[in-house]
Structure 1
Amino acid sequence: MISARQLEVLSTVIEVGTTARAAELLAVSQPAISNMIRHTEDLIGFPLFHREHGRLTPTHEARHIAQEAQHLFMQQKRVESIVNELRGGTIGRLSIVATPSIGHGILPHVLSRFMEQRPKLQLSIELGSIDEINRRLVSGRADLGLSITPPRHSALSVHEVGAGRMMCVCPDGHELGLLDTISIADLNHVQHISYGTGTPLGQQIDKVFSERGLERRYFCEVRHTATALEMVRNGLGVALVDSFALIGQRHHGVTVRDTSPELPLNMHAVTSNLFPTSNLALRFQSFLADVLIGGPVQPGDTV
């Protein structure tokens, strides 16, 4: 069978007319070109050139082969282009599963910036609980998981990608919005929207209340910070939400304040140990970490 290299030599000699010029273009010696042509003729069993007075004239069969080879060369260039794009993370499919506060908050903001130089990317975004993140990664249905609470699973790797904190949000004009910093104890005296005691965020907040000899009181229980934030936007009360849920938001009407004490938390990127992590997923993880270096929403912001 004729190799791609033999086809390249044949096509180049036909195009430029001499073995000397073909050797120069292909960065090899002239004898190497001549030997390659003879070897190809021996392989296929008929001549490719007429040799008269030191000149090579391609046969009809040689021109036909070279013409067909052009399709191969075009496809080869296409494959090389695809490889370069994959190496640069500009094409491919990225499947992400995230908790709702991340999915409704920072994720669309970061993806819009990530896609600016990657318009050919295909995305798949799912929102779910920690258990759903585990299931999708372990089954290979997602490339990357994003969560505040780090999942614990032997088949998963967890990487911290950014630091944040819980912040107090209240409707514009609310009395707590007049304070620079909102004490945890203040939340027991207003319409407080909070998280169930069985949730990771609820347990974290309960610990802070308990350390101060207080019992957390709230009139509305939610599971996700995205839900709490929407309820605050609609004037239903005050809530603690993670700072990642606030990044990139365009809606107005919510005032953000720091808390006392500070309630730190982190965002985690999760990948499967059962499947190779794609180059694209690794690039997005690094891009997300760079964005988070800029820090969370600042107190006093209206989002």
Structure 2
Amino acid sequence: MRIRQLEAFRAVMLCQTVTKASEMLHISQPAATRLIADLEQSIGFALFERVRGRLIPTPEAQTLYEEVQQSLLGVDRIARTAEEIRHQQRGVLQVAAAPALSISFLPRATAQFLVERPQTQISLLSHSSRTVVDMVVGQRCDIGFAILAMNAPSTHGEPLLATRMLCAVPAGHRLAGYSVVKPTDLKGEHFASFPRVLDTRLHVDALFAAHGVERILRFETQISHGLCSFVESGLAVALVDPITASEYRGDGIRFIPFEPTIRMDFTVLTPIQRRPAMLVQTYVQYVREYALKQLDPRCVVL
């Protein structure tokens, strides 16, 4: 038995005539008649009686129809699933991301992404950038978003976004009205910073050292959102990435462009052992476009 024969059988059962069944299947009447005859020959018993030009299903046909209907419904589901996969409407993605992206930005971007994809499921785990890289290498996720500079795109890694860090100050701070903050403006300030284990901290410390500026370190955390919360308390200033700044909902903080530029690069990684699924590529492109819409163009390094 072939699926096409079963489709012809179902169509005749529904339409009661070969003519209407052939129209339903978009084939000629002789072709529909041949499919029914071939099916009857393969199963060894008649499915229809010809009475005054009409086809009357036999009792055996009624019994067979129930099974055929269930089987073809399964085939229809497979076809719909394939169609949804082709148009990136269905799938499961395992995503690992650095906290700067995973705390607020990616959940918001993903929510918008899933509005038109009700059959898609996305799992998001928050880890340090080093752990994200390890998860990608170990094939424990489909996509990794890390704070990692990448000089050139590769088959399994590409820049997501290059940004300029901003200076975060309390709303009532003396610098709150500045249009640009420079290293010398922060001389003697109480400062909240990333821990020394992060490359970003090394870049920030090197810049202030080069300008001969000393700060008073009060607080360390690897979470950008945590830095913003500490700044809003009024006890310090900090340098943070613009993605976190765009997502932060506190009113007692101001984000000001900082010069000279300190870059924070966000990179997308996928396992090298397999080609990224179409859904992966669509999701990454959506996240990139979402970020560009949310950020002040001055914060993006072109």
Interval of TM-score (by shorter of Structure 1 and Structure 2): 0.7 to 0.9
Measure, in 2, the Cα distance between the counterparts of 1:35 and 1:113.
Answer: 50
Please identify, of 160-169 and 216-225, the stretch whose mean Cα deviation from structure 2 is larger: 216-225
1:28: Cα distance to partner? Answer: 1.8
2:189 match: 190
CA distance, structure 1, for counterparts of residue 140 and residue 5 of structure 2: 43
* Structure 2 segments unaligned to the other structure (5+ residues): none
- Superposed structure 1 runs of 4+ greater than 6 Å apart: none
Q: 1:122 to 1:173 in 2, by over 3 A?
A: same
1:227–1:80 CA distance, 2 compared to 1 (3 A): same
Equivalenced residue count is 295
CA distance in 1, matches of 2:248, 2:277: 29
Find the counterpart in structure 2 of residue 167 from structure 1: 166
In structure 1, the residue matched to 2:217 is 219
Structure-2 separation of matches of 1:119 and 1:26: 30
Aligned equivalents of 2:118, 2:10: Cα separation in 1: 36
Following superposition, the deviation at residue 210 of structure 1 comes to: 4.6
| Equivalent in the alignment of 1:230 | 229
RMSD: 2.6
SS class of match (2:27): coil
Partner of 2:175: 176
Contact preservation (8 Å) 1:170, 1:232: yes
Distance 1:250 1:298 in 2: 20
Query: Offset of 1:86 from its aligned partner?
Result: 2.9
Please, what TM-score do these two structures have when normalized by structure 1? 0.86
The separation in 1 between residues aligned to 2:297 and 2:56, in whole angstroms, is 76
1:35-69 deviation per Cα after TM superposition (whole angstroms, max 9, x unaligned): 22221121111122223555433211112212321
CA distance in 2, matches of 1:195, 1:156: 31
Cα distance, 1:12 vs. partner? 1.4
- 1:242 and 2:259 aligned: no
Offset at residue 126 of structure 1 (A): 1.4
Query: Which residue does 1:33 correspond to in 2?
Result: 32
Q: Give the superposition deviation at 1:9.
A: 0.7
C-alpha distance after superposition, 1:114-139 (max 9, x if no partner): 23333444332211122211222122
Q: Which secondary structure does the structure 2 equivalent of 1:181 belong to?
A: coil
Q: Among the aligned pairs, what percent are the same residue?
A: 26
Structure 1, gaps ≥5 residues long: none
What is the CA-CA distance between 1:197 and the residue it aligns to?
4.5
- When normalised by structure 2's length, the TM-score is 0.87
